[in-house]
Amino acid sequence: MSEKTLNQKLKDLDKQVEWFYSDDFKLEKASEKYKEALKLSEEIEKDLKNLKNEIEVLNEDFTK
């Protein structure tokens, strides 16, 4: 299974957040959906930190 791109993860998170405002919202599922969204947001944050580190390394190489 291939790993999702950062862009795909952001789109998935948007869909998960939209669920809370949709007609499909059910209070009984809110906790589960929230946990899924939280896990995905943590993955996105990790991806962004890794990307930031890569950019900083590249920037150092170009400034030498």
Claim: this prediction has a pTM higher than 0.85: no
For residue 64, what pLDDT band results from cuts at 50, 70 and 90? low
pLDDT at 60: 82
CA distances (Å), 52 to each of 11, 18, 40, 47, 55, in order?
20, 28, 18, 9, 5
Alpha-carbon span 12 to 37, nearest angstrom: 9
List, for residues 17-55, the tens digit of each pLDDT value. 999 999 999 999 999 999 999 999 999 999 999 999 999
- Would you state the structure tokens that stand for residue 61, as one six-digit string? 């190489």
Tell me what pLDDT residue 62 has: 73
What pLDDT shows up at residue 2? 67
